[in-house]
Amino acid sequence: MGTSQSLRSSGSSRRLKADRGCQLSGAQILIESLLHEQVDTVFGYPGGAVLNIYDELYRAQGRIAHYRSQHEQGAVHMADGYARSTGKVGVVVVTSGPGATNAVTGIATAHMDSAPLVVITGQVPRALIGTDAFQEVDTIGITRPCCKKNFLVQEAGQLAATIQEAFQVARTGRPGPVVVDIPKDVAAEKTTWYRHELPPSLPPSDRAACSLEMVSIAVKSLMAAKRPVLYIGGGVVSSGAGPELRELAEKLSIPVTSTLMGLGAFPSSHPLYLGMLGMHGTYCANMAISEADLILAVGVRFDDRVTGKVEEFGRQAKIIHVDIDPRSINKIVPVQIPIAGDAKQVIRSILYELASQNGNLGGVHGRRKKWLNQIAGWRRFAPLASGNSSKEIQPQYLMQELYRRSPKDVIFTTDVGQHQMWAAQYCSLEEPRRWITSGGLGTMGFGLPAAIGAQAGNPEKQVVAIVGDGGFLMTCQELATAVRYQIPVKVVIMNNRFLGMVRQWQELFYENRQSQVEGNGPADFVKLAEAFGAQGLRTSSPAELPNLLEKGLAMPGVVVMDVHVAQLENVYPMVPSGASLREMVLGPEQPIRGYPALRSPEPAPERSLPSDMA
């Protein structure tokens, strides 16, 4: 039994011995540090530079569960899915060279979406660094621009403090991935280690205090506004500010729209909820933002997929921007009321200030009536199309049926493409941390491994990966991981035999020249699932679909449901790239300004709003 294990097996005499210090290797100190951070789950892939670490992971079996992926990208997405669904830091171990470079897509994905990870990469021995040694890459250089912070550990004596800092950085402020590069000889080297060297774990968030003066100005503006909108994003999920936001929205009758990353932070069935905004957002959300006189933006970063033409975004509105990361404020749009701070704390401060007005909200609800009526009109004018299917399965119908048949507390992960947008539109969620998608980097191949990580962290929940046929083939080998560890994820392939989202853009903006977007030949996903030891089901019939979903979701083990949908369906509404949110295209019958209408031989009449809504 290794020294680290004997240290763990408590007993006061042993503790005393530990306090007098003992000789541990860098790898043993790493394991002690992970246990100190209460890590019980690690994802990774072994190799030469991390042999010592894997030897200690072997000894730590029973205390740390390790899931070995089939590719390092998969391991990082798994840790990411685990982190986003549990709120804990996800941990990854990969080897040097190709192990580290394979991990980069996962690290960049987590970085863009602010997911807290600690990624431990092996490195060649210190004496070989810079010599083009076997499996040497400059991991620090490569990962610098796509992680929150990285460390090259120079000696075993630095490991405990470095790991602690890495966890603290990963989960504090705007969360993100941290890379710790450990040369092989540092992992092997022994040093005197004292248990009391491990200081108590630092709190998960700095809960930075915000400017009370700004809060007070924000409250006045919120009370005075005639057409306010709350625009929320992933920062609300990471700070757990959902309940406070709901209280605020209800207290002041403020309608709420969410980014792709914020879905679930505000209950989608709530009457004040407008749906997602942005490129494939709802008509009423995009109109509300465009017409608002006040936007309270919380935990968002004004991504270009959200704002459309940025000069037009919320042009009539005063903007209050609450964000933990002061660098995000005033970065894309000028903000009149900046509040740097943790979303939960700031919204609490706003609620506190409102409460101090002794319930005298100055007739705010009456003032909002006209605005809420106008929004109701937009909602009625252009609701999301319902996916009626007779001959073929419409993608919208698939999403509606999947949502209807999934348990209320289901966790959905998605890949990237049309299916992701339809899932966002139709699989509306009531709670945070149930919607896991690659929003910022838009990484195809994310859905399946993220689902495996989410399922590992939430064994009691149903986890469903919604993927496209293209993205599924990027990481489908992770089915082997799910089967091996009996992680019973369900995979729903929205199979349109196209790289659908790219085909949609080629149709709409490149005169339908379909360049390299056709499907994957006779790829048989049922056989593929079976080859990995999973179960496969397939349908292309609208009548069969409900039963297939019911059956597939209820089956034990890993199940792949290959659902053949209409091939040429496009995602609407759509704001063409670079257009303002008002220039949404609602459906195929409506030509996109500057582009020929491909679907209708005659130019379709412009859809116009009823006069009271124009």
Ligand X SMILES: Cc1ncc(C[n+]2csc(CCOP(=O)(O)OP(=O)(O)O)c2C)c(N)n1
Q: Which of 23, 38, 134, 509 is catalytic?
A: 134
Q: 313 vs 422, which CB is nearer to ligand X?
A: 422
Q: Is 443 in the site for ligand X (CB under 6 A)?
A: yes
Measured from the CB of residue 182, what is the shortest distance to ligand X in angstroms? Answer: 28
Q: Contact at 8 Å (CB) between 463 and 410? A: yes
Select the span of 20-28, 127-135, 494-502, 524-532 touching ligand X (CB under 6 A). Answer: 494-502
Select the span of 127-135, 198-206, 363-371, 498-506 touching ligand X (CB under 6 A). Answer: 498-506
Q: 292 vs 398, which CB is nearer to ligand X?
A: 398
Q: 177 vs 471, which CB is nearer to ligand X?
A: 471
**Stretch 446-475: interaction string toward ligand X, x if CB under 6 A:** ----------------------xxxx----
From the list 340, 499, 548, 566, which residue makes contact with ligand X (rule: CB under 6 A)?
Answer: 499
Contacts of 16 (CB under 8 A, 6+ apart): none
- The count of chain residues that interact with ligand X, using the rule CB under 6 A, is 19
Measured from the CB of residue 494, what is the shortest distance to ligand X in angstroms? Answer: 6
Measured from the CB of residue 418, what is the shortest distance to ligand X in angstroms? Answer: 4
Contacts of 126 (CB under 8 A, 6+ apart): 154, 183, 185, 186
Q: Is 561 in the site for ligand X (CB under 6 A)?
A: no
From the list 498, 525, 532, 572, which residue makes contact with ligand X (rule: CB under 6 A)?
Answer: 498
Measured from the CB of residue 514, what is the shortest distance to ligand X in angstroms? Answer: 12
530 is catalytic: no
Q: Is 442 in the site for ligand X (CB under 6 A)?
A: yes
- In 10 A of CB 510, how many CB atoms? 12
Cβ contacts of 333-340, under 8 Å, gap ≥ 24: 333/302, 333/307, 335/297, 337/214, 337/217, 337/218, 337/221, 338/214, 339/210, 339/211, 339/214, 339/215, 339/218, 340/208, 340/210, 340/211
From the list 494, 528, 561, 566, which residue makes contact with ligand X (rule: CB under 6 A)?
Answer: 494
Measured from the CB of residue 107, what is the shortest distance to ligand X in angstroms? Answer: 14
Q: How far is CA 192 from CA 20, 21, 56, 124, 184, in A?
A: 9, 6, 17, 23, 18
Q: Contact at 8 Å (CB) between 537 and 531? A: no
Q: 100 vs 565, which CB is nearer to ligand X?
A: 565
Residues 468, 492: Cα–Cα separation, whole Å: 8
Q: 5 vs 540, which CB is nearer to ligand X?
A: 540
The residue written with tokens 């980097």 in the block is: 441
- The answer to whether the bond into 573 is cis (omega within 30° of 0) is yes
Measured from the CB of residue 165, what is the shortest distance to ligand X in angstroms? Answer: 31
501 is catalytic: yes
Q: Which of residues 406-435 bind ligand X (CB under 6 A)?
A: 415-419
Q: Is 502 in the site for ligand X (CB under 6 A)?
A: yes
Residues 419, 433: Cα–Cα separation, whole Å: 19
Report which residue's Cβ sits closest to ligand X: 468
From the list 500, 536, 573, 576, which residue makes contact with ligand X (rule: CB under 6 A)?
Answer: 500
Ramachandran bin of 281, using left for φ above 0, alpha for ψ from -120 to 50, beta for the remaining angles: beta
Q: Which of 88, 148, 184, 490 is catalytic?
A: 184
- In 10 A of CB 533, how many CB atoms? 13
Q: Which of 135, 400, 504, 506 is catalytic?
A: 135
135 is catalytic: yes
134 is catalytic: yes
Select the span of 189-197, 455-463, 499-507, 508-516 touching ligand X (CB under 6 A). Answer: 499-507
Q: Which of 112, 399, 444, 501 is catalytic?
A: 501
Residues 553, 404: Cα–Cα separation, whole Å: 12
Measured from the CB of residue 309, what is the shortest distance to ligand X in angstroms? Answer: 21
From the list 168, 221, 396, 496, which residue makes contact with ligand X (rule: CB under 6 A)?
Answer: 496
Q: Contact at 8 Å (CB) between 293 and 225? A: yes
From the list 89, 333, 479, 501, which residue makes contact with ligand X (rule: CB under 6 A)?
Answer: 501
- In 10 A of CB 556, how many CB atoms? 8
Residues 36, 54: Cα–Cα separation, whole Å: 18
Q: What is the 3-state secondary structure (H, E, C) of 256-301?
A: EEECHHHCCCCCCCCCCEEEECCCCCCHHHHHHHHHCCEEEEECCC
Measured from the CB of residue 112, what is the shortest distance to ligand X in angstroms? Answer: 12
- Nearest CA to 49 out of 125, 107, 150, 101 is that of 125
- Nearest CA to 560 out of 451, 454, 459, 457 is that of 451
Q: Is 393 in the site for ligand X (CB under 6 A)?
A: no
Measured from the CB of residue 569, what is the shortest distance to ligand X in angstroms? Answer: 10
Q: Is 444 in the site for ligand X (CB under 6 A)?
A: yes
Residues 475, 471: Cα–Cα separation, whole Å: 7
Q: Is 440 in the site for ligand X (CB under 6 A)?
A: no
**Stretch 530-559: interaction string toward ligand X, x if CB under 6 A:** ------------------------------
Q: Where are the beta strands (DSSP E) in 511-568?
A: 535-539, 559-564
Q: How far is CA 7 from CA 22, 36, 170, in A?
A: 9, 12, 27
Q: Contact at 8 Å (CB) between 117 and 89? A: yes
3-state secondary structure of 608: coil
Write out the catalytic residue numbers: 72, 134-135, 184, 501
Using CB under 6 A, list all residues that contact ligand X.
415-419, 442-444, 468-471, 494, 496, 498-502
